[in-house]
Amino acid sequence: MADEPIRVTVWGEGRHEKRDANVLAHYPDGMHATIAAGIAEHAGPAVTVRCTTLDDPEQGLPDSLLADTDVLTWWGHIAHDEVSDDLVDRVQRAVLAGMGLIVLHSGHYSKIFKRLMGTSCALRWRNGDDRELVWTVDPAHPVAAGVPSPIEITNQEMYGEFFDIPAPDELVFVSSFTGGEVFRSGCAWRRGRGRIFYFSPGDQDYPVYHHPDVRRVIANAAVWAAPSATREPTPISYAPTDWFAKP
């Protein structure tokens, strides 16, 4: 509906790439660059994509950039605690005002995801080089468009239930792993005026963000999460006296 491209900002923690040769081998320009390239590749002219990282000024998200972002993607892992509470406040306000948020993999434990969910967001996990199969349980959902069911990810960390999240407003994907575990791997919520999507594939130890179907899902999610209207903060109070007309 919008004629303007959706302004996507890919936020990356950017730390594994600085210390783990294995991660750097998969992602020489950083995981964020690969995620951004996947979105650009699949969403095409519908989006413009920028990258930013924790070690950039203002932890990568000055107010000016946040105000210029329609959809934010978030990947973090070993530095969740370094993200300032002030940034979490600002991102939360942006989401409630309409900005879309895509949380990826270990971002389940980020401050911003826990803030928006209200739960512990804990899960089971095992780094055991499992095969993950990502099954579509809502085949008409726009986020699932154009990918096979299942998506097969040959090498991946296992994430399993119980995943301590609010029941999703829309459950799109459920994964199984070699060990027999299952996981709600694609979950959508509406919070305030914003849309949130969590997608679990994507451990730093495996080249998951090069997988074409994974890229397609993230691009779909970015388009789906875009606000349909101008961002609007929720007012703190109202004076709706126009409807007050007692006899």
Q: Smaller CB distance to a second copy: residue 21 or 140?
A: 140
- Paired with 176 in beta bridges are 133, 182
81 binds a second copy (CB under 8 A): no
Which residues fall within 8 angstroms of residue 130, CB to CB, at 6 or more apart? 155, 156, 157, 158, 177, 178, 179
The residue (of 32 and 195) whose beta carbon lies closer to a second copy is 195
Half-sphere CA count of 228, side-chain side, radius 13 A? 4
Is residue 85 a contact residue for a second copy (CB under 8 A)? no
Among 147, 174, 208, 217, which residue sits at the site for a second copy (rule: CB under 8 A)?
Answer: 174
Helical pair 212-225 and 31-43, crossing angle rounded to 10 deg: 70
CB nearer a second copy, residue 144 or residue 208: 144
CB of 121 to a second copy, least distance (A): 9
The SS3 assignment for 144 reads helix
- Residues in region 217-236 near a second copy by CB under 8 A: 223, 227-229, 232, 234-236
CA gap 211, 41 in Å, rounded: 12
Nearest residue (CB) to a second copy, 23 versus 187: 187
Site track for a second copy across 98-137, x = CB under 8 A:
x----------------xxxxxx-xxxxx-x-xx-x-xxx
Q: Which stretch binds a second copy (CB under 8 A): 16-24, 47-55, 182-190, 203-211?
A: 182-190
Residue 150 exposed, middle or buried by CB count within 10 Å (0-12, 13-18, 19+): middle
Asked if 38 interacts with a second copy (CB under 8 A), we say no
- 183 with 174: CB under 8 angstroms? yes
Stretch that binds a second copy, among 25-33, 56-64, 75-83, 239-247 (CB under 8 A): 239-247
